Structure 1
Amino acid sequence: MKQSWGPLWILLAAFLWGTTGTAQTFAPETAHPIAIGAARLAVGGVSLLVIVLLLGKWDLKNWPVKETLVAAISMAIFQPLFFSSVTITGVAIGTVITIGSAPILSGVLEWFFLKKSPSNIWRVSTGLSIIGCLLLFLNKGSVHVDPYGILMALGAGLAFAFYALVSRKLITHHSSLSVVAVVFSLSAIFLSPFLFIYDMSWISEFSGAVVTLHLGIVTTGIAYLLFAKGLATVPSSTAVTLSLGEPLTAAIFGVFILKEQLDLTSWIGISLLLVGIGLLIGLPRKKGQLGH
Structure 2
Amino acid sequence: MKNHLLGAVYLSLAASIWGGMYVVSKYVLDFVPPLTLVLFRYIIAFIVLFFILKITQSNKTRMRFQKNDWVLLGWIGFIGYFVSISLQFIGTKLSDAHTGALITSATPAFIVLFARFVLKESLTIRKLVALFVATVGVIIVVGLQSNTDHFFWGSLILVGAAVTWALLSVYVKLASSRFSILTITTYAVLFAIFFTAPLAVWELQSNELALNNAYVVLGILYLGIVSTAGAFFLWNKGMEMMDAGIGSLFFFFQPLVGSFFGWLLLGEQLDKNFFIGGTFILAGVFIVVTKQTNP
The residue number in structure 1 matching 2:65 is 62
The residue number in structure 1 matching 2:39 is 38
Q: Percent identity?
A: 19
Name the SS for the 2:65 alignment partner. Answer: coil
The residue number in structure 2 matching 1:256 is 264
- Greater shift in the superposed pair: 200-209 or 72-81: 200-209
Match of 1:83 among 86, 89, 95: 89
User: Is contact 1:15–1:245 with CA below 8 Å preserved after alignment?
Assistant: yes
Between the two proteins, the alignment pairs up a number of residues equal to 286
Cα distance, 1:220 vs structure 2: 0.8
Where structure 1 has 5 or more consecutive residues not aligned to the other structure, the ranges are none
User: Is contact 1:42–1:189 with CA below 8 Å preserved after alignment?
Assistant: no
Q: Structure 1 55/205 Cα, relative in aligned 2: closer, same or farther at 3 Å?
A: farther
The residue number in structure 1 matching 2:108 is 103
The residue number in structure 1 matching 2:278 is 270
Give the whole-Å Cα distance in 1 for the aligned partners of 2:111 and 2:145. 26
Cα distance, 1:268 vs structure 2: 2.4
Give the whole-Å Cα distance in 1 for the aligned partners of 2:292 and 2:53. 34
Q: Which amino acid aligns with 2:245?
A: S
- Tell me if 1:217 matches 2:225: yes
Name the SS for the 2:210 alignment partner. Answer: helix
- Greater shift in the superposed pair: 196-205 or 67-76: 196-205
Give the whole-Å Cα distance in 2 for the aligned partners of 1:180 and 1:123. 29
The residue number in structure 2 matching 1:24 is 25
Where structure 2 has 5 or more consecutive residues not aligned to the other structure, the ranges are none
User: Is contact 2:31–2:216 with CA below 8 Å preserved after alignment?
Assistant: no
Q: Which amino acid aligns with 1:227?
A: W
Normalised by the size of structure 2, how large is the TM-score? 0.86
RMSD: 2.5
1:211-270 residue CA offsets vs partner (Å, 9 max, x unmatched): 111111111101111112212221222222212211111111111222211333343222
1:119-160 residue CA offsets vs partner (Å, 9 max, x unmatched): 222211111222221222227753326654443222211111
The residue number in structure 2 matching 1:144 is 149
Q: Structure 1 91/149 Cα, relative in aligned 2: closer, same or farther at 3 Å?
A: same
User: Is contact 1:245–1:277 with CA below 8 Å preserved after alignment?
Assistant: no
Q: Which amino acid aligns with 2:71?
A: K
Cα distance, 1:71 vs structure 2: 0.8
1:193-214 residue CA offsets vs partner (Å, 9 max, x unmatched): 3432235743353212211111
Match of 1:182 among 177, 181, 187: 187
The residue number in structure 2 matching 1:280 is 288
- Tell me if 1:164 matches 2:169: yes
User: Is contact 1:28–1:202 with CA below 8 Å preserved after alignment?
Assistant: no
User: Is contact 2:4–2:292 with CA below 8 Å preserved after alignment?
Assistant: no
